[in-house]
Amino acid sequence: MRIIPAIDIIDGKCVRLSKGDYDTKKIYNENPLEVAKEFEAHGIEYLHLVDLDGAKSKHIVNHKVLEQIASQTGLRIDFGGGLKTDDDLRIAFESGAKQITGGSIAVKDPDTFLGWIEKHGADKIILGADAMDEKVAVSGWLEESKEELIPFIQSYQQKGIQYVICTDISKDGMLEGPSFDLYKKIIAQTDVSLSAVEDQSMLQIKLIASGGISSFDELPKLAEMGCEGTIIGKAIYENRISLKQLETYILSNG
């Protein structure tokens, strides 16, 4: 299972929120590049970089931070937050993103999102399926849509999506443990081998768990369940999980 630390950006600074609430903002570092370099120094290869200003303003904002980290580290960055247009996407990839995450756009403008999958390939485009009470949330989690989470993921699975990041918003930033039951459910209901699938090109979803990770012993449980990756945020910044522990885990599973 891939270990993917998160850096969330507001005003160019590394912050964390609780349950996506911008009023709970806590600044952990003024310099996201410094944080990214420390991750890389501990054997971490991946980074989940979120432009929270972009999510709020509905267009890419912190692409300079992305460019800085991409050009000065070897981290493979997936970037999300406010990507709404082909131009936003172009800027993200030109700034060094290896993958982008689309959440709100997949709900509100599926034609554009599907166009991205077609143009760039399913390995470059991640579906951000963030939910509250199994309903998909959009616009930096400021709105709840009418979309049911699992049918939403299944519909994009049928259209070729491979990577899905799922955050249970009620868990995010709360350090109370991830939504094991929800992830089990998603994996069971998107398991191609268990379904009578006519289209054999449909692939097993690569589910990336996000939100609520609070201790190191949750990681092997998520791996055992079949999560392809896990995003870890506040647990690192609040020293609940050390970078040394993550380094050891990566080496022992490498």
Give the tens place of pLDDT for each residue, 145-160: 788 999 999 999 999 9
d(CA 59, CA 225): 35
Residue 101 has pLDDT above 70, yes or no: yes
Give the tens place of pLDDT for each residue, 78-95: 999 999 999 999 999 999
Structure tokens at 34: 């410094």
pLDDT of amino acid 201: 57
Domains of the chain: 2-252 (3.20.20.70)
pLDDT band at 168 (very low <50, low <70, confident <90, very high): confident
Spatial CA neighbour of 124 closest among 167, 166, 81, 77:
77
Cβ atoms of residues 126 and 100 within 8 Å? yes
Residues with catalytic function: 8, 130
Q: Read out DSSP for 135-183?
A: EEEETTTTEEEEEEHHHHHHHHHHTT--EEEEEBTTTTTS-S---HHHH
**Which residues have C-beta within 8 Å of that of residue 101, sequence separation ≥ 6?**
48, 78, 79, 80, 81, 83, 126, 127, 128, 165
pLDDT of amino acid 21: 86
* 30: DSSP letter: S
Give the tens place of pLDDT for each residue, 47-65: 999 999 998 899 999 999 9
pLDDT of amino acid 193: 63
Structure tokens at 59: 């267009």
Q: Where are the alpha helices (DSSP H) in the chain?
A: 32-41, 52-57, 63-72, 86-94, 104-108, 110-120, 149-158, 180-189, 218-225, 234-237, 243-252
pLDDT of amino acid 173: 76
Give the tens place of pLDDT for each residue, 206-252: 999 999 999 999 999 999 999 999 999 999 999 999 999 999 999 99
